[in-house]
Amino acid sequence: MTEKFDENRRKLIKQSISASTLVLVAASGLTIPRVLLAHWPQDAFNAETLEDAILTFLGEAEEVNDEAIQFTIGSPPTYAVNGATVPVEISSSLQNIQRVAFLVEKNPFPLAMALEPTSAMSFPFKTMLKVAEDSEVIAMVKADDKLYRTSRYVEIDIGGCA
């Protein structure tokens, strides 16, 4: 008899905790999709040319090619077995970074990743990109209203984009 009572009591406690948590989340407004979802630059991701993707996401600014950003791609560098998971890493000592973009020249939609880093984000930043075929991969950083650009060529064995 006490086992059944204990089981019912446990269920009641679990359900009460779940219900309380749900009420708190709903009251905080976190269940509203516009609060949960980050800004999505849809036009930039739908751009079919490099120039359109850069202009749409990063805007117009003076473009600088220098050593302010370090960029590696592939493992070993410049080579990836599977285009669906190409490792990339970017680091920079620049201050006031506003946006970071990874673009793949020969992908159907060149903008592969776009970031608007917060102060909580640290460099180096590592992620994976999809690359359709052997291509130039471009990393761009917008800081202090200047565009810093660097690129690497990567060879792919198995394409990552359909």
Residue-range definition of the domain harbouring residue 24: 2-36
Query: CB-based contacts of 63: which residues, under 8 Å, 6+ apart?
Result: 146, 147, 149
As a whole number of angstroms, the distance between CA 153 and CA 112 comes to 15
As a whole number of angstroms, the distance between CA 31 and CA 35 comes to 8
Residues 87 and 148 reside in one and the same domain = yes
Radius of gyration in angstroms for the set of CA atoms belonging to the chain, rounded to a whole number: 22
pLDDT in tens, the chain (162 residues): 566 767 888 887 888 787 777 676 666 655 555 544 556 788 888 889 988 998 889 888 888 877 888 888 877 777 788 888 889 999 988 888 898 999 999 999 999 999 888 877 778 889 999 998 999 999 999 988 899 999 899 988 876 565
Residues 13 and 69 reside in one and the same domain = no
Residues 52 and 102 reside in one and the same domain = yes
Residues 26 and 93 reside in one and the same domain = no
Count the domains in the chain. Answer: 2
pTM as predicted:
0.71
Residues 91 and 20 reside in one and the same domain = no
Residues 59 and 129 reside in one and the same domain = yes
